Amino acid sequence: MNKLLFVLLSALIVFGCCNDSDSNVIKTKIPPRAKGQTDVLQLSCEPIPVVRVAFIGLGMRGSEAVKRYTFLEGVEIKALCDLYPERVEEAQKTLADKNLPAAYGYSGEDGWKQVCERDDIDLIYLCTPWLKHTPMAVYAMEHGKHVAIEVPAATTLDECWQLVNTAEITRKHCMMLENCCYDFFEMATLNMAQHGLFGEVMHVEGSYIHDLRFLNFASEQEGGYQGYWRLKYNIAHGGNPYPTHGLGPVCQILNIHRGDKMNYLVSLSSAQKGMSEYAAGKFGKGTSLADTTYALGDMNTTLIRTEKGKSILIQHDVTSPRPYDRHHLISGTKGFARKYPKQELAFDPNAHKSMGGEEFDNFLKEWEHPLTKEIGEKARMVGGHGGMDFIMDYRLIYCLHNGLPLDEDVYDAAEWSAIIALSEISAGNNSVPVEIPDFTRGAWDKIKGFNLAVK
Ligand SMILES: NC(=O)c1ccc[n+]([C@@H]2O[C@H](COP(=O)([O-])OP(=O)(O)OC[C@H]3O[C@@H](n4cnc5c(N)ncnc54)[C@H](O)[C@@H]3O)[C@@H](O)[C@H]2O)c1
């Protein structure tokens, strides 16, 4: 048996996939839609004049989300929940400092279930560790709640399908909180792309390159993640476990499942050295964390091809001493943009050189997205990654107030999160191509173009 066939057959056994007889693409199972179940593209629900929110998970991210929500109009923070009661108390102080009424408090491993079971909550906002996102989101939707989930929404293909099926059955919103879609430069380039400034966009890039070694290896007492959840995931999994910050903004530019779709990927990881070196430095050679086998390579590079022939490059590296980088690169037939290491714009016929100085500043101002024009100043004041987090919060609540479809729907959540499992399959099998399932099950071309809904 030749080597490739052996690899494919192994992958079939391990992942329950089937390979296309006409090509070497690994295909994963697409569960058929149940009879009577329909898609939730452009889902609009009854307007909610005052959105009653419950936060579950009040660590680094959740506690900041509570603070931001105190700046929103038409919101009531109804419930606060964390594993640890002291984190709930800390968040109650945030409300008290703003003279807001105390929320109902829940704690313990299963307190979140009682939150979802309440009948006075519209939106469950999840900021828990990755492996808890989908079970909590599914339960919340099954109990009649809209759900907003921190990134990534899911870590396995089965979880991605659970989110899609539950949203389709319950007709509830399921948004993954991909905040990078709302950053100022990303929104400006979306605006430029939608006005044809880049011509036809043929290639895009995104990444998550963020030296997280300190946080990954810090105990809770040192300010790290609760119970080392992220490090544990990195020990167990290869591929790209955190693709959505880079992918979300460029998928919106490419109109993914709004006229185009991601067809397949190939993924390659470097060997792992950075984590064990860091662990040896912190804990000493011969300690368990230094000697642990980390499945996560230092750098993962994934390439995606779309139905319309566009290419996407996504990278992940959380262990190398490098400046923070999300790429955000757009290359079209008429122009180019890149955010890192410094913001650049270049257009025909002068594209060999980036715009500079005043010309660049004026151009960026001229093409600022209407949304950041509207709320950007307040967002910068409230904060949250320079304001993008608050812009995201504002949009989510605006859409719920007005009964509008959300900017990021359950198919975005599934498509962007699915890269985790699919890149792991490819990178673990000599970079074989793996099909990216169409989570809309045939409706990827029904909506023509990505747009923010307005009343
Ligand atoms: N979008 C962004 O820019 C961004 C930034 C940072 C983190 N995140 C995401 O936010 C999420 C949380 O990350 P974090 O940095 O806050 O981690 P964290 O470890 O600081 O917080 C997680 C919290 O969840 C709580 N928790 C765990 N199990 C629970 C349960 N059963 N019930 C209730 N609470 C429970 C923990 O006690 C902890 O307080 C992750 O998905 C992460 O990827 C996103």
The strand pairing partners of 338, in sequence order, are: 329, 344
Residue among 139, 159, 26, 33 nearest 434 (CA): 26
Distance 151 CA to ligand 1 centre (A): 10
Q: Is the pLDDT of residue 17 over 80?
A: no
Q: Quick check: 2 pLDDT over 90?
A: no
Nearest-angstrom CA–CA distance, 17 and 235? 24
Three-state secondary structure call for residue 224: coil
Whether 112 is in the pocket of ligand 1, judged by its Cβ within 6 Å, is: yes
The verdict on the CB of residue 136 being under 6 Å from ligand 1 is no
Q: What is the residue extent of each domain of the chain? A: 51-177, 181-370+409-435
Residues sharing a CB contact under 8 Å with residue 24, sequence separation 6 or more, in sequence order:
4, 8, 432, 433
CA of 59 to the centre of ligand 1 (A): 5
Question: Under 8 Å CB-to-CB from 439, ≥6 apart: which residues?
Answer: 160, 161, 164, 257, 410, 411, 414, 415, 418
- Both tokens of 49, joined, read 């004049």
- 145-148: long-range contacts, CB 8 A cutoff, minimum separation 24: 145/54, 145/116, 145/121, 145/172, 146/45, 146/122, 146/172, 146/173, 146/174, 146/175, 146/400, 147/123, 147/172, 147/173, 147/174, 147/175, 148/123, 148/124, 148/173, 148/175, 148/176, 148/177, 148/396
Instruction: Find out whether the beta carbon of 390 lies less than 6 Å from any atom of ligand 1.
Output: no
Burial class, 299, CB count within 10 angstroms (exposed 0-12 / middle 13-18 / buried 19+) = buried
Ligand 1 midpoint to CA 56 (Å): 9
Q: Is 219 in the pocket of ligand 1 (CB under 6 A)?
A: no
Pocket test for ligand 1, best of 127, 147, 385 (most atoms within 8 A of CB): 127
C-beta 248 within 6 A of ligand 1: no
What length does the chain have?
A: 455
Domains 51-177 and 181-370+409-435 in one fold: no
Please give the number of the atom of ligand 1 that sits closest to the Cα of 227: 19
CATH of domain 51-177: 3.40.50.720
Going from the Cα of 31 to the center of ligand 1, the distance in angstroms, rounded, reads 30
pLDDT score recorded for residue 24:
87
The predicted-structure confidence for 372-386, as pLDDT tens digits, reads as follows: 999 999 999 999 999
Strand partners, 148: 125, 175
Give me ligand 1 centre to Cα 224, in Å: 11
Mean pLDDT of the chain: 95
Percentage of the chain surpassing pLDDT 70? 95
pLDDT at 3 over 60: no
Whole-number Å distance between alpha carbons of 215 and 318: 10
Per-residue pLDDT tens digits for 396-428: 999 999 999 999 999 999 999 999 999 999 999
**Cα–Cα distances in angstroms (integers) from residue 374 to residues 89, 184, 326, 394, 432, in the given order:** 34, 12, 25, 11, 45
Which strands make up the sheet holding 434-435, listed edge to edge? Answer: 18-19, 26-27, 434-435, 262-269, 300-306, 311-317, 201-209, 329-332, 335-338, 344-347
* Residue 152 pLDDT exceeds 90: yes
CA-nearest of 176, 80, 185, 102 to 137 is: 176
Q: Hey, what amino acid is at 197?
A: L
Does the pTM surpass 0.85? The reply is yes
Pocket of ligand 1 contains residue 56 by CB under 6 Å: yes
* Ligand 1 contact via 180 beta carbon (within 6 Å): no
- Is 225 a pocket residue for ligand 1 (Cβ < 6 Å)? yes
Determine if ligand 1 sits within 6 Å of the CB of residue 393: no
Spacing, Cα 60 to ligand 1 middle (Å): 7
Whether 447 has a pLDDT exceeding 70, the answer reads: yes
Q: How many Å lie between the centroid of ligand 1 and the Cα of residue 435?
A: 30
Cα 230 to ligand 1 centroid, rounded to whole Å: 10
Q: Among the CATH numbers 3.20.20.70, 1.25.40.10, 3.40.50.800, 3.30.360.10, which is that of 181-370+409-435? A: 3.30.360.10
pLDDT higher than 80, residue 234:
yes
Alpha carbon 121 to its chain centroid, in Å, reads 24
User: Above 90 in pLDDT, residue 21?
Assistant: no
* Sequence-ordered alpha helix ranges (H) in 98-156: 111-117, 130-142
Residue 144: predicted pLDDT? 98
